[in-house]
A and B are shown apart, each in its own frame.
Chain A
Amino acid sequence: MRRILYVLLTIFLILTFNYLLFRVMPGDVARMVIPRHATPQTIAALHAYYGLDKDPISQYVIYLKQTLTGEFGKSISFRTGSTVGDIIGPYLTKTLFLVGTGTVISIFVGVILGRETAWRRGKVLDKVGSAFFITFYCMPTFLFALVMLTIVANYVPGWPISHETSDTYDSLDPIGKVLDRIQHLLVPVFALVIETIATFSIITRSALIDVLTEDYMLTAVAKGLRPRNVLKKHAMPNALLPVVTVVAMNVGWILSGSIMIEVIFGYQGLGWLTYEAVLGLDYPLLQTAFMLEAVAVVIANLIADIALFKLDPRLKL
């Protein structure tokens, strides 16, 4: 319960920080939208339109009200007159889908790879695996995405490398639609997960190696358990605790990776929208995108905490 209260407080702080950041920093909304030779009347009208004519405190109250009702102020670059709330919905779901899929795949594959390399510590598979992990751990996601793009563009002609559906999407039957989406997602998801898989593998490997040197491992072997059972029943549950913590810390990282992936593959999610907002200097849009990204990470951390609590009965929320 205390944990949830703390999360709510953090979200409130994020909202406030987000408000202050976009007003304190140089280059505010007002200066962005006003034409250079505007008459005083135009300036006043624009100020009134974007709600900049009121004092900072009431602006803050309006900001909070708008955010909580999901309206989010008026966009600058997208169809003048539309509110950010109208624009952002579909982008948010697409990003949540991409990040969610990416996280689940990275956890499964990363933990399995880490487990197998730790179990074969010092053998060929471990050495080759570790070299791969370090290389991909050090490779920025956008760079790997570029490499994938180069490979696919040159060797798999006809494979879709941008947007989330084909142009002919609407004429396809339901199964064709699903397949079309999957085909479009395959390369971006692969490019997104490779770095996090490497991270999780490294963590799982080192956590498991730590656990495997403990005395109770020797006890488990001594009482006649099969080696694989020792690994599954005794070593893994204990090794997973640090892994969960790191996974929680890495949700923000996966989200950052998804920003790069979305930009490169033209996948129209929150990251792509962030990019458009930066290019168009659309501050209300950027503000909302940033706020949603931050809140998503806070909530993901809460979920990870609850998972940790379930895994380790000694912990208290």
Chain B
Amino acid sequence: MTVPMTKPLTRARTRNMLLSKTQVERVKLLARRGRSIWSDYRRNLGGMTGLIILMFFLVMAVFAPLLATHAEPNNQVLWGDNPKFAPPSSRFLFGTDSLGRDVYSLTVFGSRASLVVGIVASLISIILGTAVGLIAGYFGKISDEILMRTTDFFLVIPWFPLMIVFATLLGKSFTNVIIVIGITSWPSTARIVRAQVLTVKEKGFVERARAIGSGSGHLIARHILPNVVPLIFANTILLIANSIFSESFLDFFGLGDIRVVSWGTMLEEAYDAGAFSRAWWWIAGPGISIVALIMAFYMIGDALDEILNPRLRRR
């Protein structure tokens, strides 16, 4: 009984563990990298300001029913006898609109639409753009030529008119707004990803992996994609800002879903009702919110870009 008990025990524990040692190491490395990025990020004034503003809006979107002073502000039964065009007061914090709806509560609920559209549309666009960029950059030749010509074509077509045409043809609905923004904003991502894939592809570790017999799928998933992700990450945040911008524009153009409360729709209704000459509060609520939220994403994206891609200057 002189054998130390710890050794077999450790061995047993390792054998039964769900994670292998390499996986544990990888998680540790990731955590260390995350911590170092965060410590850089914390010192970035613009980035932190953006993050705080974003937190503010996230809380607003999640707890909208608690924060709003009027439940279901878009429900006709509930707004029925409210005064119309009432200036801000203790009962209506941001006043009321032409139908007597509470602008403050509408603004609070509107944050949901903007965030959902911003995030989902950017995801669609990132997935499309990354796929196109990866295939074009990795496989090259004919596929590169075809995909990049297509990308150039979509880059040169003015973006807003294209969105207007798509949205008109697809019809007005909340989902269609997301789809339209997603499928029109991928070209810039595709370009960035392709450029990065082209440089990563020539690196020594990719060549070594190929020499020991790795297939294309493995190479892309394990070696190329991880090196493209930091680049996409900052780009995604900036894309979200753009998507929110586009959503408010489409709504304002009358191509949004009027059943969904959103800042763009509010501004459209305010414009149609002539609020600019008699009810500034109707424009102020959604207007300030749009600018603040876009600015938040812009500042976060800019800060991340600076930290993750120090050698690259955007634009």
The reply to whether chain A is a binding partner of chain B is yes
Give chain A's interface residues, CB within 8 Å of chain B: 10, 13-14, 17, 21-22, 25-27, 134-135, 137-140, 142-143, 146-147, 149-150, 153-154, 203, 206, 210, 242, 246, 252-253, 255-256, 259-260, 263-264, 274-275, 278-279, 281, 286-287, 289-290, 293-294, 297-298, 301
Which chain A positions have C-beta within 8 A of B255?
278
Q: Which residue of B lies closest to A25 (CB)?
A: B169
Task: Say yes or no: is B43 at the interface (Cβ < 8 Å to chain A).
Answer: no
Task: Say yes or no: is B38 at the interface (Cβ < 8 Å to chain A).
Answer: no
CB distance from A70 to the nearest CB of B (A): 19
Which chain B positions have C-beta within 8 A of A22?
169
Report Cα–Cα, A149/B291, bound state, in Å.
17
Q: Which residue of B lies closest to A157 (CB)?
A: B277
Give chain B's interface residues, CB within 8 Å of chain A: 153, 156-162, 164-166, 168-171, 241, 245, 248-249, 252-255, 267, 270-271, 276-277, 280, 283, 287, 290-291, 294-295, 298-299, 313, 315
The 6 closest A-B pairs by CB, nearest first: A256-B160, A252-B158, A25-B169, A153-B277, A149-B276, A150-B276
Report Cα–Cα, A256/B245, bound state, in Å.
12
**A10–B156 contact, CB under 8 A?**
yes
**B158–A138 contact, CB under 8 A?**
no
Which chain B positions have C-beta within 8 A of A135?
291, 295
Which chain A positions have C-beta within 8 A of B252?
140, 142, 260
Which chain B positions have C-beta within 8 A of A278?
164, 168, 253-255
Report Cα–Cα, A278/B253, bound state, in Å.
9
**B294–A290 contact, CB under 8 A?**
no
**B169–A289 contact, CB under 8 A?**
no
Report Cα–Cα, A206/B153, bound state, in Å.
28
Contact among A21, A263, A275, A297 for B165, CB-based, below 8 A: A21
Report Cα–Cα, A210/B156, bound state, in Å.
27
Most buried by B among A17, A22, A255, A290: A290
Which chain A positions have C-beta within 8 A of B171?
26-27
CB distance from B149 to the nearest CB of A (A): 9
Report Cα–Cα, A135/B290, bound state, in Å.
11
**A259–B160 contact, CB under 8 A?**
yes
CB distance from A205 to the nearest CB of B (A): 12
**B253–A293 contact, CB under 8 A?**
no
Report Cα–Cα, A147/B99, bound state, in Å.
21
Report Cα–Cα, A286/B165, bound state, in Å.
7
**A286–B168 contact, CB under 8 A?**
yes
Contact among B156, B161, B315 for A301, CB-based, below 8 A: B156
Report Cα–Cα, A253/B162, bound state, in Å.
12
Query: Could you jot down 24 A-B contacts, CB within 8 Å?
Result: A10-B153, A14-B157, A25-B170, A26-B169, A134-B295, A134-B298, A138-B295, A139-B291, A140-B248, A143-B267, A143-B291, A146-B287, A149-B276, A153-B277, A206-B315, A252-B157, A252-B159, A260-B249, A275-B254, A278-B255, A279-B254, A286-B164, A286-B168, A287-B165
CB distance from B240 to the nearest CB of A (A): 12
Report Cα–Cα, A51/B185, bound state, in Å.
34
Which chain A positions have C-beta within 8 A of B157?
14, 17, 252, 294, 297
Q: Which residue of B lies closest to A6 (CB)?
A: B152
**B295–A150 contact, CB under 8 A?**
no
Which chain B positions have C-beta within 8 A of A260?
249, 252-253
**B313–A150 contact, CB under 8 A?**
no
**B271–A264 contact, CB under 8 A?**
yes
Report Cα–Cα, A290/B283, bound state, in Å.
30
Whether A290 contacts B162 in the complex (CB less than 8 A), given A10-B156, A134-B295, A264-B271, comes out as: yes
CB distance from A2 to the nearest CB of B (A): 15
